[in-house]
Each structure stands twice: as C-alpha cells, then as structure tokens.
C-alpha cells in the first residue's frame, strides 16, 4: 500500500461532515485560522517519529504522509483532538480507540507493527558503528608533574 496524506474529506468520511465543520470553526480567536491542518500534521509527525524508531522501516520523503494502513487510526486521533480542543468529553468508544492508538504507537517504536514500504523512501546514509579506540600518537613527556609543582 502507498503512503498517503490526510485531508478534510478523510475526516468528513469518518465523522459527520457537519460535526467536523463545527469542530473546525468553533471558538476561534481573532485572526486564528482553522486548527485542523495543524492537528493533522501533529498526529502525522507523532506517527512518523514512532515509525522512525524502527531502523528497518524507512520513512517516506514527504513529511505529510503516513502508511495507508494507518489512515483510520490517524483520522480518529485527529477527531479526538478536535473534540478536546472544544473541551468535549470523549465517549467510551473514543476512550477505547485512544488506548488502541497508544498501543499501536508503542508497537511501532518496538518494530512490532508492520509498516508498508514508502513510495519514495528517505535516503538515509548508514552510519557504521565503530568499536575500540584509536590513538593519535604516543604521549609526550608531561611538562607539569607532581615533583615540578612542589606536590600541589
């Protein structure tokens, strides 16, 4: 499956479109813009950070994308954040979904949740682990010694 971006239509498909619009437009301060794009990117960033913990799973080059298989998980998390923004309590189902979301993030960080290969993987140069020590040269005779400093 490809990696995808989350859009307004995804939220409207997951929840009643009118509810999504109300959550986006309510309680905006003077000059404040729609918080939804920022909330989406916050959740996407969180998921991508967890995926990055697993060195065998590369990230997609587009920072706005997630694996398509995680779409529902991310969309539901964004909806819960939007409700929290208006201080609306979560239903029991939403609380269960939040627990599942947190478990999935933990599984991602432990490489226990499969992630689809990205469309355009980030090219990360491998860093070779080094062991041992390297000496630059032989040590020179000490200029200051206990004897030359009168036992200071």
What's the CA gap between 61 and 46, in Å, rounded? Answer: 16
Is pLDDT at 55 greater than 90 in this prediction? no
Q: Is residue 11 part of a domain?
A: yes
Is pLDDT at 129 greater than 60 in this prediction? no
Q: Is residue 143 part of a domain?
A: no
Q: Is residue 147 part of a domain?
A: no
Any long-range contacts for 40-48 (C-beta under 8 Å, 24+ apart)? 40/6, 40/74, 40/78, 42/81, 43/6, 43/74, 43/77, 43/78, 43/81, 44/6, 44/74, 46/105, 47/73, 47/74, 47/105, 47/108
DSSP conformation letters of 6-51? --HHHHHHHS-HHHHHHHHHTTPPTTPPPSHHHHHHHHHHHHHHHH
Q: Is residue 94 part of a domain?
A: yes
**Domain count within the chain:** 1
pTM for this one? 0.73
Question: What does the mean pLDDT of the chain come to?
Answer: 82
Q: Is residue 149 part of a domain?
A: no
pLDDT digits (tens, 9 = 90+) for 116-126: 889 888 875 55
| Lowest-confidence pick of 4-8, 16-20, 114-118, 134-138 | 134-138
Q: Is residue 15 part of a domain?
A: yes
Range of the domain at 17: 3-109
Q: Is residue 20 part of a domain?
A: yes
Q: Is residue 17 part of a domain?
A: yes
């Amino acid at each position: 499956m490809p990696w995808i971006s989350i859009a307004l239509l995804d939220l409207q498909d997951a929840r009643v479109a009118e509810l999504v619009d109300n959550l986006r437009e309510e309680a905006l301060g003077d000059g404040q813009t729609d918080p939804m794009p920022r909330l989406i990117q916050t959740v996407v960033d969180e998921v991508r950070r967890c995926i990055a913990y697993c060195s065998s799973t590369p990230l997609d080059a587009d920072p706005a994308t997630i694996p398509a298989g995680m779409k529902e998980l991310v969309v539901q998390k964004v909806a819960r954040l939007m409700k929290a923004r208006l201080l609306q309590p979560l239903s029991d189902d939403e609380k269960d979904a939040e627990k599942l979301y947190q478990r999935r993030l933990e599984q991602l960080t432990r490489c226990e949740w499969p992630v689809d290969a990205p469309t355009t993987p980030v090219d990360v140069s491998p860093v070779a682990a080094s062991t041992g020590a390297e000496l630059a040269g032989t040590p020179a005779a000490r200029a200051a010694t206990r004897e030359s400093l009168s036992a200071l």
